[in-house]
Amino acid sequence: MRAAACIIDIDGTVVTSTGPIPGAAGAIAALERAGIRYVFATNTTRHPRTVLAARLASAGIDVEPERIWTAPVAAARWLQARGVTRVSLLLPSASFEEFSGFEVDDERPEAVVVGDLGREWTFDRLNAAFLALRAGAVLVAIQKNRCWNDGTGLKLDAGPFVAALEYATGRTAELIGKPAAAFFETAISFLQAPRERIVVVGDSVENDVKGGHDAGCQAVAVRTGSFREDDLAALARPPEAILATIAALPDWLGI
What residues make contact with Mg ion under the rule CB under 5 A?
A: 9, 11-12, 203-204
Q: How far is the CB of 159 from Mg ion (least distance, A)?
A: 14
* Nearest to 60, CA basis, from 8, 28, 25, 13: 25
Quote the CA–CA distance of 9 and 225 in Å, as a whole number. 11
Residue (140 or 221) nearer to Mg ion, CB: 221
Q: Which is nearer to Mg ion, 129 or 141 (CB)?
A: 141
Cis peptide before 65 (omega within 30 of 0): no
> Contact 209/202 with Cβ under 8 angstroms?
yes
Cβ-based nearer residue to Mg ion, 9 or 98:
9
- Separation of alpha carbons 199 and 79, rounded Å: 28
Min dist CB 202 to Mg ion, Å, is 5
Helix, strand or coil, per DSSP, at residue 76: helix
- Are 103 and 86 spatial neighbours (Cβ–Cβ below 8 Å)? yes
Q: Smallest distance, Å, CB 221 to Mg ion?
A: 10
Question: Nearest distance from residue 43's CB to Mg ion, in Å?
Answer: 8
- Judged by beta carbon, residue 2 or residue 228, the one nearer Mg ion is 228
- Judged by beta carbon, residue 11 or residue 157, the one nearer Mg ion is 11
CB-closest chain residue to Mg ion: 12
R_g over Cα of the chain? 18
What Cα–Cα distance (Å) separates residue 138 from each residue in 82, 110, 173? 11, 6, 8
Q: Compute the distance between CA of residue 34 and CA of residue 48 in angstroms, rounded to an integer.
A: 29
Tell me how far, at minimum, the Cβ of 246 lies from Mg ion, in Å. 11
